[in-house]
């Protein structure tokens, strides 16, 4: 059954808008990014397949653009995923470059024990 036929509260995009991005699984976040599935596979199943093929979300994030593959995944969807992954990489690089280097063990300990920043 297509996601558009699911109850509204279970659809990834609507769930994200109602409860925030932290309420979604990795596959659901990928589904929102993909926008739609492929014949015989909804967007969440496609997201799960991408994660399974990569082995983990971290492995998917580290893949070169040309290695993002799944059955039925065309160039437009691969480009969307590659763009999102590159934005994530750039954001992390920017964040890391703006932080001062940790100069001693105490600073390292303080950094590691600091509370996590709030999510968007």
Cβ atoms 49, 34 nearer than 8 A: no
- Boundaries of every domain in the chain: 3-93
Reading phi first (left if > 0) and then psi (alpha if -120 to 50, else beta), residue 97 is in alpha
Cα separation, 51 vs 6, in Å, equals: 22
pLDDT score, position 24 = 93
Cα separation, 93 vs 23, in Å, equals: 25
Which 3 state secondary structure label does DSSP give 70? coil
pLDDT score, position 28 = 94
pLDDT score, position 48 = 92
pLDDT score, position 117 = 58
* pLDDT tens across the length of the chain (120 residues): 688 888 888 889 999 999 999 999 999 999 999 988 888 889 999 999 989 988 888 888 777 766 777 767 788 888 888 888 888 888 888 887 887 777 788 877 877 887 765 554
């Amino acid at each position: 059954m297509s996601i558009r036929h699911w109850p509204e509260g279970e659809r990834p995009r609507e769930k994200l808008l109602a409860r925030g991005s932290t309420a979604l699984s990795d596959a659901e976040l990928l589904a929102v990014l993909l926008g739609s599935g492929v014949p015989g596979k909804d967007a969440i199943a496609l997201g799960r397949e991408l994660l399974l093929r990569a082995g983990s979300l971290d492995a998917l994030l580290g893949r070169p653009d040309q290695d993002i593959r799944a059955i039925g995944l065309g160039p437009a969807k691969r480009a969307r995923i590659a763009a999102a992954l590159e934005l994530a990489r750039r954001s992390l690089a920017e964040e890391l470059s703006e932080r001062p280097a940790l100069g001693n063990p105490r600073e390292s300990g303080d950094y590691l024990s600091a509370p996590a920043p709030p999510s968007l």
